[in-house]
Chains A and B, each alone.
Chain A
């Protein structure tokens, strides 16, 4: 499984755009990149998933450069409620159990202040 490296913590203010970068130098050809969010006392929640270039949904964007050795989760105009831990995961969905046999690292603790 590709190992991921993320910043341990980040601070931001309400209304700002937050970019969290994840490094995955040994990503394999079939690996997808997935981001999850976790609030205290809750299970992780899926944010976004991508393979290459850019993916956007109603809550975030995911930027993946051509070499796929890193990825950046972009949260536009964060609010206090975005304070959470964000996990970057990499996995091959075509291996039995696949991309959802996910290995969670330590994640990035995002703190949003007024």
Chain B
């Protein structure tokens, strides 16, 4: 398996633009997590899904952020409109069940100018 695949790896966009980050979890994994990492705040859990259903989105910073998981093999994190303070590395992770290893993707480095 290729692991968790995220795209794009890098994204530079202008303030106010819509940004969509994509994630393909490992086949067979029933949990999917979106994290954001910055120097100031470290790794923060934004939202997670179980069997494609959002379970907890309490970490989503504000209404500009939304996430979907239309099927077991694909998830998106959308920011609309984007702001410079959204600049961070966004990680997607997946796991089987609630115990054991969570596998992280390589991340998407987002820069909003």
Q: Which of B13-21, B64-72, B73-81, B96-104 contacts A (4 or more CB under 8 A)?
A: B96-104
Of the four ranges (under 10, 10 to 19, 20 to 34, 35 or more), the interface on chain B belongs to: 20 to 34
Q: A45 an interface residue at 8 Å Cβ cutoff?
A: yes
Q: Convert A19-47 into 0s and 1s, putting 1 for each residue whose CB lies closer than 8 angstroms to a CB of B.
A: 00000000000001000000001111110
Q: A96 an interface residue at 8 Å Cβ cutoff?
A: yes
Q: B60 an interface residue at 8 Å Cβ cutoff?
A: no
Q: Are B42 and A93 in contact (CB under 8 A)?
A: no
Q: Are B42 and A105 in contact (CB under 8 A)?
A: yes
Complex contacts, A97 vs chain B, CB 8 Å? 31, 48, 50, 55-56, 98
How many angstroms from the CA of A97 to the CA of B42 in the assembled complex? 20
Q: A49 an interface residue at 8 Å Cβ cutoff?
A: yes
Given A96-B55, A97-B56, A100-B33, A107 and B42 touching (CB < 8 A)? Answer: yes
How many angstroms from the CA of A104 to the CA of B42 in the assembled complex? 7
Q: Are A99 and B104 in contact (CB under 8 A)?
A: no
Q: Are A102 and B99 in contact (CB under 8 A)?
A: no
How many angstroms from the CA of A49 to the CA of B55 in the assembled complex? 24
Q: B82 an interface residue at 8 Å Cβ cutoff?
A: no
Q: How many A-B residue pairs have CB under 8 A?
A: 70
How many angstroms from the CA of A104 to the CA of B46 in the assembled complex? 12
Q: Are B99 and A101 in contact (CB under 8 A)?
A: no
A-B contacts, 29 of them at CB < 8 A, read A32-B99, A42-B104, A42-B106, A43-B4, A43-B93, A44-B93, A44-B104, A45-B104, A46-B100, A46-B101, A46-B102, A49-B100, A93-B97, A93-B98, A96-B55, A96-B56, A96-B98, A97-B55, A97-B56, A99-B98, A99-B100, A100-B31, A100-B98, A100-B100, A103-B45, A104-B44, A105-B42, A106-B42, A107-B42
* Supplied contacts A43-B4, A87-B43, 16 more A-B pairs, CB within 8 Å: A42-B107, A43-B104, A43-B105, A44-B91, A44-B93, A46-B101, A46-B103, A49-B99, A96-B98, A97-B48, A99-B99, A100-B98, A100-B99, A101-B33, A103-B45, A106-B42
Interface residues of B (CB under 8 A from A): 4, 31, 33, 35, 42-45, 48, 50, 55-56, 91, 93, 95, 97-107
